Every structure is written in C-alpha cells, then in structure tokens.
Chains A and B, each alone.
Chain A
Amino acid sequence: MAFAAASVLSLQGCAGWQSALDPKGPAANELAWLIWFFIGLCSVVWVLVMIALAAPLLMRPPRRTEPLMLDASADHRKLRVVVIAVGLTAATLVGLTLLSFFANRTLAAIGSNAALTIRVTGHQWWWEVRYEDATPSRILTTANEIHIPAGEPVRLLLTSTDVIHSFWIPSLAGKLDLIPGHMNVLDIKADKPGTYRGQCAEFCGAQHANMGTFIIAEPRAKFDAWWNDQLQPAAAPTGDEAKAGADLFLKRPCVMCHKIGGTPAGGTVAPDLTHIASRQTLAAGTLTMSRGNLAAWIADPQGIKPGSHMPVVELNGDELNAIVAYLEGLK
C-alpha cells in the first residue's frame, strides 16, 4: 500500500516540459497510451502467473493409494490446462504485437501532410537547425531552439556530422538517432503552444549531458513572424561599446567559427549567432540567456562545458564587455 502510494507520488514528478508520461502531441499520446496498456496487461499476467504458481505449492496433494498408478482423466485435465495457457499466452503476445504495429502506423501517418520541413544536424554538443523552403532566400539556419507552429505536423530530417546523437523530445515524440551520413525522418506535432525540452539521448562524448534543445510551439501567425524576423540580417550595433564589440568579433577567432548574418563573419562550424539574443538559452540549454551568462560563457567556455569545441579566447575585461554588448543586441 505504502509502496503504491510512493510510486504514484513519484509519478507526479513526471509531469512538466520534458516527460514521456505527460504527452503533449499525438505521437507522444500514442506511445504513452501504449506503454500504460502494456504495463497494465503485463501486471495482470504477472499476478495470474504468480497465483498459478502459488496454488499447487499451497494445495495439499491428493492422497493416492498406489503412487505409481496412472490417472488418465487427471492427466487429460492437466493437458487441457497447459494447452489453454499456451493459447492465451500466444493470443496475448499477438494482441500486443498488433497494438504496437497499429501505434506505429499512427506515428507514421502524423507527418504525411507536413507542410514544414526542418533539418536538424547534431554536432558535439549542440544542434544545428535549418528551416527548408522552396525559396532559397527563406532558408533559415539557427541553433538549439526549434520553433514550430502549434497544431501542425512538422517533418524533421535528422543527421549528424560527427558521431551518433539521438533526438528526443519526450513530451512530443519517441527518440530517433542522428547518424553521420544518413538521414532519419521524424514527424512531430504539438497540440498546444508551449515550450518542450529535449535532450540528446545517445552518449556522444564529454558534454552529452549538456546537449539540450527546446521545441517552442506557437500559433501560426506568431511562428511566421518569428521566421521573418530571423531571416533579417543581424541588428547593427548601437553605442560605442557595441560597435567596438562588432569590430573585435571580426578581428578575433570568433569569426573563424561563427556566422553573423549581414557581416563578414561566415563560419559554419559553430552555432549561428545572427539572432543569438533572441534565444532563451546558451550553449544547448546549459545556461539561461542573460548578459552575465553571455560574458561567463565567452570568458570561460571550458570551465562551463569542459571539452566543448569552443576554445578559450583570451580577451581583456574591456574587450569581453564590448563583445557581450554587441551580442546582447543581436535580438
């Protein structure tokens, strides 16, 4: 009793923005329903098996006058029980297989008419996100934060450039691997607007644990506005400090790795920083976005995310402040 109460209480911890037991989209719904059904049915089977095992142990064996004498009718009864048990087991297994088959068909159908395709590329230890569009000038590259229109199916194309990662937004869908040189397709749909957290689910190196991502589902109009904003080149720096920062960004190693749209910085091996200040977190969900955290990250990425592929760039206090002032304005 106490155990049951404790388990129910601990399940409360499973609600929230990252939980397979708190589904927020059709795919996750299907999976949650399936797992609960499996657990329920398997529990019943387990209890029945335990009873069947316990009964003969507790029952007194029938007294026999001649131990070696065969009792044909009793044997016949026993055979029937075994045949029925095997039949029930087979039927249960076939039933569960069919259920999981149909659940899979439902998952596959979710994205059949998806209007939006997003390419998600895993890197050690962040996510590159590219919105595909038939018009090349509307193709958008960003990082770590995936905005989608709520209530619409979205097709994700998953791949990687280094090692195998796995994309998992528990509240919306099951996990699927990102494999170098191979493209996996995952369809997701969020029923309601909201922020859903995801996490790399395949060990991929030192900072695997700090490889988070966010799906932000918004009403269509808001999503379109977001996309249009993100397509704009970076905001021009205002104020002397930010201007100095923009200049420093181009003169220092930052420019070798990062892209800032509308400036000569065109590196493609690290997150696109064109609208960095519009994101909610830094370094794949490691820090929340704020001026202080930006400065902390740039001053010592190896202290915050040891082994990350962003090196420590030596800057003095003024230079650091200037670069932070510039990046902070890239809304």
Chain B
Amino acid sequence: MRLGFATLLSVTLALAACQREERDTRPQSSLGSGGQPTPVTTLEPGGQRPSPSNNKAASFEANAFHLSEGKRLFGWFNCSGCHANGGGGMGPALMDQKWIYGSSMESIHATIRDGRPNGMPSFRNKIPDDQIWELAAFVRSLSGNAPSSAAPQRNDDMMPHPSENRMPDAATLGKSP
C-alpha cells in the first residue's frame, strides 16, 4: 500500500518534470506581431517597460527546449558577432550583472525586436516573435538568470565560460539570495 503510493507519487513527480522540456514550436496566435504591445519610444534608459502580461515570458523562461533553441539561434543570427559569447565585443557583455536596459524578459525582448540607439540593430520582422522570446530567455541564462535545471549544459566546442547551467547568478555575484 505504502509502496504503491510511493510509486504513484514518484511517477507523478517525474511527469511534472516533463514540463521542463515541453516543446511548443508553433506560435499560439496567427495574428502576427500586432498582438505585441507597441513600444512608445525607443529610448528607455535603465527603465523596465511596464510588464505587459505576456505568458510567453513565463513559459519560455524555465523551459529547457526554448533555452537551448535560443542558444542555437544566438549563433545562427550572429549575435556573437557583436556580443562574442556573452563576454561582449562591439556590443556590451551579456554575462555580467550590468543591464543598460533592464534584465526582464520583456525588456530584452524589446531590445532585440526594436533595437537600441547605441548600435543594437532592430530584428523586427527578421526574427519571428517566438524565436525572439527564445533568444531573450537564453540571454538571461548567460548571467545565471535561469533555473539550472533548464539552462543549457556544456557546449560541443570550446567554451569561453562555464556552461549556462553552472553560471553564478550575476545579480547576486554567485551568492544565492
């Protein structure tokens, strides 16, 4: 009886873990990016835009599939050309605790979609919206802002920094809050 209960419990718990990998690869709305809040201005120094209740931010952030897709796209769309592997180059470092435009999923999404004045190009219409969310989730994982159970693991090639799931949380400088 007790054994049966334990088995049932562990199976239920194991199934819950599948959430981490849930792969939805088709955008939910076919209404186009018009469903997204339009930015009022491109100038938002340091500010976080009032968070529009976008469920993508929450559902992509802790999802291992979307994070690793974001990692692949970061290379495919040549973000590394300007940000290196997160350490920064012509563009700012993305693996430190400094955020010019805020660390929330929404601000990073806005940065990638609309660009930023000091040289970050706009990828509006060039990257489908879901893929922008994947990139945003991955950018956050670069500074340890993603659950280590979901963040990408080691690279197949040489790694410039610890794998994303072992990155110390930059905001707390490695001390857990």
Contacts and interface: CB of A to CB of B under 8 A. Distances in A.
Interface of A: 162, 180-181, 251-253, 255-257, 269, 300, 302-303, 306-307, 309, 311-314, 316
B76 A306 contact: no
Contacts of B131: 253, 311
Interface in B46-79: 72, 76-77
A302 B125 CA distance: 19
Nearest to A206: B23
A159 B64 CA distance: 27
Given A180-B156, A314-B30, A256 B126 contact: yes
B125 A256 contact: no
Contacts of B32: 314, 316
A311 B126 contact: no
A256 B23 CA distance: 23
Given A180-B156, A256-B76, A269-B76, A314 B128 contact: yes
A312 B156 contact: no
A312 B27 contact: yes
16 contacts: A162-B156, A180-B156, A251-B125, A256-B76, A256-B127, A269-B76, A307-B23, A309-B72, A311-B130, A311-B131, A312-B130, A314-B27, A314-B30, A314-B33, A314-B128, A314-B129
Contacts of A256: 76-77, 126-127
Nearest to A257: B76
A211 B33 CA distance: 32
B156 A252 contact: no
A300 B27 CA distance: 10
Contacts of B126: 252-253, 255-256
A312 B26 contact: yes
A303 B156 contact: no
Contacts of A303: 26
Contacts of A251: 125
A311 B23 contact: no
Nearest to A270: B76
A300 B26 contact: yes
B111 to A, nearest CB: 17
A312 B76 contact: no
Interface string B145-169: 0000000000011000000000000
B25 interface: yes
B24 to A, nearest CB: 9
A314 to B, nearest CB: 5
B25 A252 contact: no
B20 to A, nearest CB: 16
A247 to B, nearest CB: 12
Contacts of B23: 307
A253 B76 contact: no
A312 B128 contact: yes
Contact of B26 (A162, A253, A302, A309): A302
